[in-house]
Structure 1
Amino acid sequence: MKAFIGIGLLGSGFVKAMLQKGDAVQVWNRTAAKAKALEAYGAKAFNRVEEAVQGAEIIHVTLKDDATVDEVLTSASNGLQQGAVIIDHTTTSVKGAIQRTSYWKSKGFTYLHAPVFMGPQNALESTGFMMVSGNQSVIEKYEPALSKMTGKLLNFGAEEGKAAGIKLSGNLFLLSLTAGLADALALAKVHNIQPSELLTLFNNWNPGASVPARLKKISEAKFNEPSWELNMARKDAGLMLSAAKEAGTNLTVIPAIAAVMDTWIAKGNGSDDWSVIAKDSL
């Protein structure tokens, strides 16, 4: 028997996939109607979280944040069977993941943080990426079950909380990417370029494909082998800022990047690869 706490878009997809694979699943959600809706697919919904976890060997969690996870698991604790395993897919802080692992172990339960890079459709189709770190014997034991939930399970080793840090770092990149796209759309509008035309560019030229090579170059600190000199990149940033200013358009990301570029140019790094601006992050 499995239990699933937190029936949002992601949780709903996970539960439907579990039911399709023949699992018996008990569900709970603060908005009871979301849990109740899954009864049409074969789940059993409960109004009280401590009832939803009764008899469950594994309890999956997808909630909002550290505080919500702690609050809900505390409420659920009276219904947990001895030796139950809590697998938390919530995006949380590193500190929270470490503390919960230790706390629930002291209570006789296993807590494993397993955040994901998955959307609702991924959860339903068992595709995407799930990450784990920590006690390797625990991970080895539950790896087969977790692997069935995702396209790829990434094990980042024995350090507690590392999976949480990786998830936050990845999400930071996604936030930056979207902010960058917002600036690109704003600049395109300045030049009377339609979003569909910008999409034509990215359908043919995929800058995302260069991310692994770019990260490798940064991590190896090979800034003296430029593919795009910092001075030239700053010149282009200046063109972007000037065009936006003339049109009365505000850009979000580029002004901050230009300021960092100016700092590194002032240090004498203008002829280095423009990725030198990431040097202090190493």
Structure 2
Amino acid sequence: MRTTVIGTGIMGAGMAGSLAREGHEVVVWNRTAEKARALAGDGIEAAEDLAGAVAGADVVITMLYDTDAVLAVTDELVGALGADAVWVQSATVGPDGARRIAEAAGNAAGRMLDAPVLGTKKPAEDGALVVLASGPAALVEKAQPALDAVGSRTVRAGEDLGAASALKLACNSWVGLVTAGTAQALALASAQGVDPQLFLDAIEGGAVDTPYAHVKGKPMLTGDYSAVSFALDGVRKDLGLMVSAAESGGMPTDLLRTVLGLYDRASERGHGAEDLAAVRTAFAG
């Protein structure tokens, strides 16, 4: 398939590489052209303009930062989208953002899948993401070769656009909470004069263990957050979407707001562009 990836940040770049590795003809475009050009070669073509990137594509994947970034390219994307092409909208925008994008797309919304993904840098590079998809079953089937190239499996969230984005927020709330909880446990051990590594040793293999605690616990122990798989400010953006979604659903937001406050504090201390494990700095005195 000819597949276009719009947005070549950490996730989009990894997805483009996975698509090319699986034999797809891949075209990439990014608002900062140098990021797209850096991927050119090995089955990936960097387009000079968005319309040229989209023209002739069977599948167009948008992996941009937020709703506003997607809306900024929607008119041009829709104008260049082929009659039989599928638009796979993979940015984390929340259900409200998905609806706003669909409204802006007009008739082209009938060719759109709401398909955010679970996973960070390495799963994107390995084609091991989990794709959360909502929209018409026929579109999922049509886009499935591309979805299979970037993901290990596809979880269907229903026919309604926005359902997959709602599921993504629930999943990312868990990521944010587990990471902040790991940071708190390590900080509490240190505050009591206990080697924080012992916390990870103690939970390993038990009922309360999770591999993610060890993945994020390692940089928390070294204090090196430069290997970014999911930027801390990106988590803050997603937590803001979660708070709004919870309020719309009549759900208390106490825990979400507390967790968001921790990431806010870490960002205010200069760690916004670093990995989300830098939430550990929110517990520093």
Tell me the TM-score normalised to structure 2 length: 0.68
Pair 1:89-2:93 in alignment: no
> Which deviates more, 8-17 or 200-209?
200-209
Q: 2:23 is matched by which residue type in structure 1?
A: G
Partner of 2:10: 9
1:121–1:30 Cα change, 3 Å: same
For 1:47, what is the secondary structure of its paired residue? coil
Runs of 4+, deviation exceeding 6 Å:
none
Q: How big is the alpha-carbon RMSD for the aligned residues of Structure 1 and Structure 2?
A: 2.4
SS where residue 124 of structure 1 aligns? Answer: helix
Aligned match of 2:199:
198
Question: Would you say 1:42 and 2:43 are equivalent positions?
Answer: yes
1:118 is matched by which residue type in structure 2? G
**Gaps (5+ residues) in structure 1?**
210-251, 257-282
**d(CA) in 2 for partners of 1:15 and 1:67?**
22
Q: Indicate if the aligned counterparts of 2:113 and 2:161 stay in contact, CA closer than 8 A.
A: no
Q: CA deviation at 1:83?
A: 3.2
Q: Contact 2:5–2:29 at 8 Å: present in 1 too?
A: yes
Identity, in percent, stands at: 29
Contact 1:133 1:163 in 2 (8 A): yes
Structure having the higher Rg: 1
Query: Number of paired residues?
Result: 213
Contact 1:83 1:109 in 2 (8 A): no
Which one-letter code corresponds to 1:60 in the other structure?
I
- Kept in 2, the 8 Å contact 1:63–1:69? The answer is yes
Counterpart in the other structure of 1:80: 81
SS in 2 for 1:145: helix
Q: Within 5 A, what are the aligned runs for 1:197-276?
A: 197-208=198-209
Whole-Å separation in 2 of the counterparts to 1:155 and 1:207: 28
- Does the 8 A contact of 2:18 with 2:149 survive in 1? no
Q: Is the 1:101–1:110 contact (alpha carbons within 8 Å) kept by the matching residues of 2? A: no
For 1:104-253, what aligned pairs fall within 5 Å after superposition? 104=105, 106-107=107-108, 110-208=111-209
The alpha-carbon deviation at position 123 of structure 1 amounts to 1.7
Alpha-carbon offset, residue 96 of structure 1: 2.2
1:62 aligns with 2:63: yes
Higher mean C-alpha deviation, range 8-17 or range 177-186:
177-186
2-structure distance, mates of 1:171, 1:90: 13
Describe the shift of the 1:107–1:90 C-alpha distance in structure 2 as closer, same or farther (beyond 3 A).
closer
**Could you say if the C-alpha distance between residues 99 and 8 of structure 1 is closer, same or farther in structure 2, counting changes exceeding 3 Å?**
same
Q: CA deviation at 1:74?
A: 2.1
* Kept in 1: contact 2:86–2:143 (CA 8 A): no
Q: In structure 1, the residue corresponding to 2:99 is in which secondary structure?
A: helix
